[in-house]
A = this chain, B = another copy of it.
Amino acid sequence: MTTINHAYDKLVSGYLFPEINRRVKEFQKNNPSAEILKLGIGNTTQPLAEFVVSAMKNGVNKLSDEKTYTGYGDEQGDTRLRQAIVEYYKNLGVEIQDDEVFVSDGAKCDVANIQSIFSQDSKVAVQDPVYPVYVDTNVIAGRTGKALENGGFEGIIYMPCTEENNFFPDLPKEKADLIYLCSPNNPTGATATKDQLKKFVDYARKNKSIIIFDAAYNEFISDSDLPKSIYLIEGAKECAIEINSLSKSAGFTGVRLGWTIVPKSTVCENIEEGKLNSMWNRRQTTMFNGASNIAQEGGIASLSPEGMRQNKEIIDYYMENARILKQCLEEKKLSFVGGDNSPYLWVKTPNNMKSWDFFDKLLKEAHVVCTPGSGFGKSGEGFIRLSAFGNKANLKKAAESIKKNMKI
């Protein structure tokens, strides 16, 4: 007599994007001639770099010849790719070892699965607003109580990111075991300084907490004072696991490739060095069979000097989009953060409007679709997210329409 994992019942059904679609559809129905301009989606739109395309075609070719065909590879990733990732970190000023790198099919899976190696009673802390995967996976794992009316869950520590703290959280007052940090942040676009991260690293070392650091947007950082890796913070290798991805930095949202760094020196309570590393190794070798060999060929190319140079052009393209959006918001005298070192802009609604009300206003007046901040958590109320991903001509049209048609 099998029964289900009732923790799933606590999850609130994904409300944000279906509700956006519903409202857009209804608007389109009532205004069939209106051209809807989308600034809501965090998805890449620009073609892959030529160098990467060529490497992946070569990867496909290798599979067509018995002499170069490969089947199962190491679950932890192709040795050449792990070395390329080590090299990537070396260029950032961080020393890691090959066997501290675990290649995966993307940051989402790793961010979702990493909690599996920690105990059931771990107290989880997240930024608010938050990327929902950090929370929902801990709900499924049974680490929370029931859903609250404000969209949160009992038992999770929410760390507000507000204007008052420059959108980087204060240290939690309660004791937190697993702390999820994302910088540059999705959804706020705020990027943590070294000092801000240092505070959390010191907290984690003192309390033997673990920081899960999501660096998926790090290649959008242009300010050299801002850290592209948490391991640039002294002591972070004792307490932090870093997760990254080629989704946004190389356009691999569909190709699927990411990685997780578990330093051997990263420890929590009552374990020796290397233990977390070997646990994650065990998790991945038992429950995963390696990323696609074609995607890995693309990954090796992406992290090569020529691949990095070509990918930088794509990032610059999106950051030029961000500049256009910033200029538009400034002209409309709207207050915002992000868009400097991240592809997202977190915009304060005027006159304390609710997120969804401003969403409707933007849609109605400018025909522009944004993402209501309240969809990312309680502290997102009164904000909306704009995304710089997209075709430049469309994005320019959206910015022009906001400037011309939206009444503030």
CB-nearest residue of chain B relative to A107?
B289
Q: How far is the CA of A42 from the CA of B241 in the complex (A)?
A: 33
| Complex copy number for this chain | 2
List the B residue with the shortest CB-CB distance to A112: B287
Option from B48, B66, B116 in Cβ contact (under 8 Å) with A64:
B48
The contact of A268 among B2, B256, B288, by CB within 8 Å, is B2
How long is the Cα–Cα vector from A286 to B288 in the complex, in angstroms? Answer: 17
Which of B177, B253, B292 touches A2 (beta carbons < 8 Å)? Answer: B177
Interface residue? A72 (CB, 8 A) = yes
User: Given A63-B48, A64-B53, A71-B43, are A4 and B276 also a contact pair (CB < 8 Å)?
Assistant: yes
A368: interface (CB < 8 Å): no
Chain B residues, CB < 8 A from A133: 286-287
Contact residues in B for A294 (Cβ distance below 8 Å) = 56, 60, 255, 292, 294-295
A46: contacting residue among B66, B112, B254, B288, CB under 8 A: B66
Query: For residue A118, which residues in chain B have a CB less than 8 angstroms away from its CB?
Result: 2-5
What are 19 A-B pairs at a CB distance below 8 A?
Answer: A2-B119, A2-B208, A3-B119, A3-B121, A4-B276, A5-B117, A14-B285, A43-B71, A45-B71, A46-B66, A60-B60, A60-B294, A69-B251, A105-B292, A120-B142, A132-B286, A133-B286, A256-B290, A256-B293
Q: Are B45 and A268 in contact, CB atoms less than 8 angstroms apart? A: no
Interface status of A79 (Cβ within 8 A of chain B): no
Contacts of A154 in B (CB 8 A): none
> Which residues of chain B come closer than 8 Å to A72, judged between CB atoms?
43, 253-254
Choose among B64, B142, B275 the residue that contacts A4 (Cβ–Cβ < 8 A).
Answer: B275
Residues of A within 8 Å of B, CB-based: how many? 83
Measured CB to CB, the closest approach of chain B to A131, in angstroms, equals 11
Nearest CB in chain B: distance from A205 CB, A:
12
Chain A window 275-305, contacts with chain B (Cβ cutoff 8 Å), 1 for yes, 0 for no: 1100100110111111111110000000000
Nearest-neighbor residue (CB-CB) of A255 within chain B = B292
CA distance A293 to B257 in the complex (A): 12
Question: Is the CB of A65 closer than 8 A to any CB of chain B?
Answer: yes
Residues of B within 8 A of A1 (CB): 175, 177, 207-209, 268-269
